[in-house]
């Protein structure tokens, strides 16, 4: 508790970002208690209804309550965003630690492969992977969509963790572990990996925001989440663009939800970087 209070005092913007993330997390965990309507319930009498007492943020072209769809969309955004970032950052961290530890030709080869992946724009690489893989939904989550979003994150996380590992591998305790005859795998993942946790957590938090934005982009393009699932990017796509003049709330509120969540995770990630860095803390 004292650490949280000290974090809020020294990193007020990070605390604001964390508070917004907490609200989104609550919405994602308990949408059935917070949403006044079923997100897929069609009510033709409420078609294109503006914000009112019955529909706080208005209704879409099918009469579905936008506020309810935003609440349920938080679950889609967070689940895909977190698992994509976790998978991409964890694979990237493992590659970065191994590349820096072995060095030499191994490091050179891995870094050239990373350079090739980094040469592709994130959205292009994700679109290619989605187009190659068919949808595979397990427990309401599209695993191949998560994989498509995670893949562009891998080289970026690997580059960051590799930079941190290059300094850690020169520490005396690593030399002592080598002298003790420990295996390379034990040295990498027991002695080195825990000491690059800080940059890993920072990258993980920051890329949740990018994963949410990428999922929304793919859904907007019709390559991500499909109807009738509530998803923020999907709420901006399709016929929603046809009603931007007479029903602007159909676009404004999902756009605000995406922007606010990305803003919150970026704020929190930047604050974590400052919190873990002794130069900034000092």
Q: Is residue 42 part of a domain?
A: no
| Strands in the chain per DSSP E | 137-138, 141-142
| Total domains, the chain | 1
Taking each helix axis from N to C terminus, what angle separates 12-29 and 2-10, rounded to the nearest 10 degrees? 120
Q: What is the pLDDT of residues 85-94, one digit of tens each?
A: 999 999 999 9
Q: Is residue 15 part of a domain?
A: yes
Read off the CATH number of the domain in which 117 is found. 1.10.3720.10
Q: Is residue 43 part of a domain?
A: no
Which residues span the domain enclosing 189? 10-24+66-281
Handedness of CA 204, 6, 163, 93 (dihedral sign): negative
Could you tell me the pTM of the whole model? Answer: 0.87
Q: Is residue 61 part of a domain?
A: no
Q: Is residue 264 part of a domain?
A: yes
- Residues 6, 81, 249: CA angle, nearest 5 degrees: 95
Q: Is residue 159 part of a domain?
A: yes
Q: What is the pLDDT of residues 157-204, one digit of tens each?
A: 999 999 999 988 888 888 888 888 888 888 988 889 888 888 898 899
């Amino acid at each position: 508790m004292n650490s949280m209070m000290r974090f809020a005092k020294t990193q007020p913007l990070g605390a604001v970002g964390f508070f917004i993330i907490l609200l989104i997390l609550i919405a994602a965990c308990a949408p059935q208690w917070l949403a006044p309507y079923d997100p897929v319930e069609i009510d033709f009498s409420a078609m294109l209804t503006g914000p009112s007492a019955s529909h706080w943020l208005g209704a879409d072209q099918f009469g579905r309550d936008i506020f309810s769809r935003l609440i349920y969309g938080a679950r889609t955004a967070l689940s895909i965003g977190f698992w994509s970032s976790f998978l991409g950052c964890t694979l990237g961290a493992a590659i970065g630690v191994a590349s820096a530890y072995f060095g030499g030709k191994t490091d050179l080869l891995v870094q050239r492969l990373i350079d090739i992946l980094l040469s592709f724009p994130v959205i292009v690489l994700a679109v290619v992977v989605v187009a190659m893989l068919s949808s595979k939904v397990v427990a309401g989550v599209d695993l191949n969509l998560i994989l498509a979003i995670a893949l562009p994150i891998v080289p970026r996380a690997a580059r960051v963790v590799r930079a941190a590992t290059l300094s850690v591998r020169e520490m005396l305790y690593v030399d002592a572990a080598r002298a003790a005859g420990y295996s390379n795998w034990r040295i990498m993942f027991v002695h080195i990996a825990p000491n690059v946790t800080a940059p890993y957590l920072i990258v993980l938090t920051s890329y949740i925001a990018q994963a949410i934005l990428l999922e929304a982009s793919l859904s907007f393009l019709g390559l991500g989440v499909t109807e009738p699932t509530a998803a923020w990017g999907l709420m901006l796509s399709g016929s929603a663009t046809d009603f931007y003049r007479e029903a602007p709330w159909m676009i404004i509120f999902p756009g605000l939800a995406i922007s606010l969540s990305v803003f919150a995770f970026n704020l929190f990630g930047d604050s974590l970087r400052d919190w873990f860095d002794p130069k900034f803390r000092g």
